[in-house]
A and B are shown apart, each in its own frame.
Chain A
Amino acid sequence: MEVTGAEILMRCLHEEGVEYVFGYPGGAVLIIYDALFKQDKVKHVLVRHEQGAAHAADAYSRASNKIGVCLVTSGPGVTNAVTGIATAYMDSIPMVVITGQVPTHAIGLDAFQEVDTVGITRPCVKHNFLVKDVRDLATTMKKAFYLAKTGRPGPVLVDIPKDVTGATCEFHYPDTVQMRSYNPVIKGHAGQIKRAAQLLLEAKRPMVYSGGGVILSDAAPQLNEFVRSMGFPCTSTLMGLGGYPGTDPLFLGMLGMHGTYEANMAMQHCDVLIAVGARFDDRVIGNPAHFAQNPRKIIHVDIDPSSISKRVRVDVPIVGHVPDVLEELTKLMRQSGSRPESAALKDWWSQIDLWRGKDCLRYDRASKIIKPQFVVEKLYEVTGGEAIVTSDVGQHQMWAAQFYKFDKPRRWINSGGLGTMGFGLPAAMGALLANPGATVACVTGESSIQMCLQELSTCKQYRLPIKIVSLNNRYLGMVRQWQEFFHGNRYSQSYMDSLPDFVKLAEGYGHVGMRIENPGDVEPALREAFARKDDLVFLDFITDQTENVYPMVPGGKGISEMILAEDL
């Protein structure tokens, strides 16, 4: 029996086991929305702006290992979603984006709500397709899901002209898909893994540097096994938090621009470094020339060959699926009969403990004004470290990363690569829908939250009891911090006047709002908010306006050239 393209699309989603589609209707997708209406397997979440749809679908993937799907109309629907697509792309998040397009006969004629979707999104997707014939639709959808989740994951976009959604053909969904041009390397090179094992066994100052690839490939168990069995120090990037337990003594905290003193010093001074699913980016190792000043052997495990030797030359590249490579490596090292020299490792740990003694995340706990770090610490306590925490971008993001100890993967959801303000709230929606009943907190600031504020309405419609922890310092905090450090305290456009009353605003959307102005009220407020299981609570914490994020590696400096709170 012949069915319409729109119906084929729905059946593809059924075949892929898609539970939620985050979207917003419009002219070019009307036939798709009609098919959506006539079925009941896929639930649709109606966002208030297409950026929110993309972020929610993205976070749905991040928090669950399922694939988030987003559906928007042509033209402005697409351009609004682009920020969300680019966000997912920069963090290698699998996602399928379905976009409506003007009918094939109108393409290229500057039709109403027409943009060159494939052209606009090309640099920020793993791949994209324009489906010109309904007979290609099912295979294209199969390819889209396959590409999104295999190899180095990423968003894949399928652009479907309106006439294709209305045209008919037989539906057949292929079981598998073969592409001669796409064969990601999965198995790590045995010889290279052997060399890596040898180097690690001979190391006197070993260091493990793990990244988002550990989360994406579900390699946390293998990473834990590897680190623990060797007793090596381990750090993680912003994207990798939760890959190794944040509360474990072998964990040195996050590294990078706002990493801990001990993690950054150990990165600079180790003699054998193993990078696992990480990419040596500028926010992590700072100036590559400074990083290279200290001689060390580098092993780099990653699924993407182009991530290897991009910014830093490595000695042992291993392209492969991270959990398999780690398992093989641990096995080899165990079987070798030899162990890393224990006296050397002990000395290395003594050195690390000296660095730890700096207590680089220290802040004024006696402050009469609420310190933002204090709020995150209390959030950690009140949620027992069990919450899924999303964040926006800026100082609050760094404090959340530093002070909330993530013990499990997929609990820390933030925009690392693109640094997208506005990500936090829609991300919390996606994370919660992927984990029904979970405790979800969105750590944000008064500036970031206003970038996708409209989604408060979506939260009401779908009864999403997110707890919004807003660290309100009346400044674009991270911009203000850079202006203080590097631009002679000239706070150009970083102060925000005429802020809304966030309590009333939350109430206006039908939620609960709370304003907290004293340190003593922080914990009770959090407890009350999290006790309200069915309500979205907007907690507006009035925090210290001049607090800075420390340590800080200034742009262009070396990873060990940190500004510490005590230096000022």
Chain B
Amino acid sequence: MPSMSERHIISILVENEAGALSRIAGLFSARAYNIESLTVAPTEDPSMSRMTIVTSGSEDVIEQITKQLNKLVEIVKVVDLSESEHIERELMLIKVRAGLKEREDMKRMADIFRGRVIDVSDNTYTIELTGDGAKLDAFIQALDQGSIVETVRSGASGIGRGNRVLRV
């Protein structure tokens, strides 16, 4: 069954119980599935968490991933967002060198990417940037690599477009 490995973004509703995260992470490592990123936080209903996993694999592998996830007792719902229109966003906080010489340029660059400077010191800026993964990558590429002091990215969160909802 040869088919191309493609990036998928999977959304999960899971009981907010101790150990649920390790069951899911354990499933991925035990069955040798990829995890590019994983985000999780409680929903408006505190008894449930919403998780977004970015993974990659052939169609068959992705089918198995969703089936195996569904089999975990604490998982309430699983949906492969990539199957239809969806939006994904990732948050990046990036600390860059911003001494007197670089300040103007750096601020302009952040503006171009619709980033916000959220912390300032004598020689650094910390910029907050949201977007899909490609946009965050593009921002990093656009900077002089020597000017990056530290980056932290949240991993993607995803949601279906329009009337497509994931809830109990």
Kindly state whether residue A486 has any CB partner on chain B within 8 Å: no
Q: Is the CB of A306 within 8 A of B1?
A: no
0 or 1 for each of A139-151: is its CB under 8 Å from B? (1 = yes): 0000000010000
Q: Is the CB of A182 within 8 A of B18?
A: no
How far, in whole Å, are A130 and B20 apart by their CA atoms in the complex? 12
Kindly state whether residue A362 has any CB partner on chain B within 8 Å: no
Which of A119, A152, A181 contacts B76 (CB under 8 A)? A181
Which of B59-67, B121-129, B134-142 has 4 or more CB atoms under 8 Å from chain A?
B59-67
Which residues from 47 to 81 on chain B have a C-beta closer than 8 Å to any C-beta of chain A? 60, 63-64, 67-68, 70-71, 73-76
Query: Considering only CB atoms, which chain B residue lies closest to A181 in the complex?
Result: B76
Which residues from 171 to 187 on chain A have a C-beta closer than 8 Å to any C-beta of chain B? 179-182
How far, in whole Å, are A304 and B71 apart by their CA atoms in the complex? 8
Q: Is the CB of B22 within 8 A of A122?
A: yes
How far, in whole Å, are A10 and B68 apart by their CA atoms in the complex? 34
Kindly state whether residue A365 has any CB partner on chain B within 8 Å: no
When distances are taken between beta carbons in the complex, the residues of chain A under 8 Å from B73 are 126-127, 147, 179, 181-182
When distances are taken between beta carbons in the complex, the residues of chain B under 8 Å from A487 are none
Which of A181, A305, A309, A310 contacts B74 (CB under 8 A)? A181
When distances are taken between beta carbons in the complex, the residues of chain A under 8 Å from B42 are none
B129 → chain A, closest Cβ, in Å?
35
Q: Is the CB of B26 within 8 A of A305?
A: no
0 or 1 for each of B92-131: is its CB under 8 Å from A? (1 = yes): 0000000000000000000000000000000000000000
Q: Is the CB of B67 within 8 A of A305?
A: yes
Q: Is the CB of B26 within 8 A of A181?
A: no
Which of B22, B68, B168 contacts A180 (CB under 8 A)? B168
How far, in whole Å, are A180 and B167 apart by their CA atoms in the complex? 12
How far, in whole Å, are A5 and B47 apart by their CA atoms in the complex? 26
Q: Is the CB of B26 within 8 A of A306?
A: no
Kindly state whether residue A313 has any CB partner on chain B within 8 Å: yes
Q: Is the CB of B76 within 8 A of A122?
A: no
Q: Is the CB of A306 within 8 A of B68?
A: yes
A82 → chain B, closest Cβ, in Å?
15
How far, in whole Å, are A101 and B45 apart by their CA atoms in the complex? 32
0 or 1 for each of B17-32: is its CB under 8 Å from A? (1 = yes): 0110011001000100
Which of A147, A305, A313 contacts B70 (CB under 8 A)? A305
When distances are taken between beta carbons in the complex, the residues of chain A under 8 Å from B168 are 180
How far, in whole Å, are A179 and B47 apart by their CA atoms in the complex? 13
Contact-residue size bin, chain B (C-beta under 8 Å from the other chain): 20 to 34
Kindly state whether residue A123 has any CB partner on chain B within 8 Å: yes
B68 → chain A, closest Cβ, in Å?
5
Contact-residue size bin, chain A (C-beta under 8 Å from the other chain): 10 to 19
How far, in whole Å, are A123 and B25 apart by their CA atoms in the complex? 11
When distances are taken between beta carbons in the complex, the residues of chain A under 8 Å from B71 are 152, 304-306
Q: Is the CB of A181 within 8 A of B15?
A: yes
Q: Is the CB of B18 within 8 A of A119?
A: no
Q: Is the CB of B23 within 8 A of A181?
A: no
When distances are taken between beta carbons in the complex, the residues of chain A under 8 Å from B18 are 130
0 or 1 for each of A156-182: is its CB under 8 Å from B? (1 = yes): 000000000000000000000001111
How far, in whole Å, are A194 and B61 apart by their CA atoms in the complex? 28
Q: Is the CB of A119 within 8 A of B22?
A: yes
Query: Considering only CB atoms, which chain A residue lies closest to B47 in the complex?
Result: A180
0 or 1 for each of A298-337: is its CB under 8 Å from B? (1 = yes): 0000001110011001000000000000000000000000
Kindly state whether residue A118 has any CB partner on chain B within 8 Å: yes
When distances are taken between beta carbons in the complex, the residues of chain B under 8 Å from A152 are 71
How far, in whole Å, are A453 and B117 apart by their CA atoms in the complex? 71
Which of B1, B15, B23, B63 contacts A122 (CB under 8 A)? B23
When distances are taken between beta carbons in the complex, the residues of chain B under 8 Å from A179 are 73
Which of B63, B67, B75 contacts A181 (CB under 8 A)? B75
Given A181-B75, A313-B1, A122:B26 Cβ within 8 A: yes
When distances are taken between beta carbons in the complex, the residues of chain A under 8 Å from B75 are 181
When distances are taken between beta carbons in the complex, the residues of chain A under 8 Å from B22 are 119, 122
Query: Considering only CB atoms, which chain B residue lies closest to A288 in the complex?
Result: B1
How far, in whole Å, are A127 and B71 apart by their CA atoms in the complex? 10
When distances are taken between beta carbons in the complex, the residues of chain B under 8 Å from A304 are 71
B57 → chain A, closest Cβ, in Å?
13
A211 → chain B, closest Cβ, in Å?
18
When distances are taken between beta carbons in the complex, the residues of chain B under 8 Å from A147 are 73
Given A118-B19, A181-B15, A309-B60, A123:B26 Cβ within 8 A: yes
Query: Considering only CB atoms, which chain A residue lies closest to B13 in the complex?
Result: A181
How far, in whole Å, are A494 and B30 apart by their CA atoms in the complex? 30
Query: Considering only CB atoms, which chain B residue lies closest to A118 in the complex?
Result: B19
When distances are taken between beta carbons in the complex, the residues of chain B under 8 Å from A126 are 73
How far, in whole Å, are A247 and B150 apart by their CA atoms in the complex? 72
Which of A127, A181, A182, A306 contacts B64 (CB under 8 A)? A306
B45 → chain A, closest Cβ, in Å?
11
A405 → chain B, closest Cβ, in Å?
35
When distances are taken between beta carbons in the complex, the residues of chain A under 8 Å from B68 are 306
| Interface-centre pick from B19, B67, B73 (highest chain A CB count, 10 A) | B73
How far, in whole Å, are A309 and B68 apart by their CA atoms in the complex? 12
**Which 6 residue pairs spanning A and B have beta carbons closest together?**
A306-B67, A127-B73, A181-B76, A305-B67, A182-B73, A123-B30
B residues bordering A, Cβ < 8 Å? 1, 14-15, 18-19, 22-23, 26, 30, 60, 63-64, 67-68, 70-71, 73-76, 168
Q: Apart from A122-B19, A305-B71, what 10 extra A-B contacts exist at CB < 8 Å?
A: A127-B73, A147-B73, A180-B168, A181-B14, A181-B73, A181-B75, A181-B76, A304-B71, A305-B67, A305-B70
A-B pairs with beta carbons under 8 Å apart, 8 shown: A122-B22, A123-B26, A130-B18, A306-B67, A306-B70, A306-B71, A310-B64, A313-B1
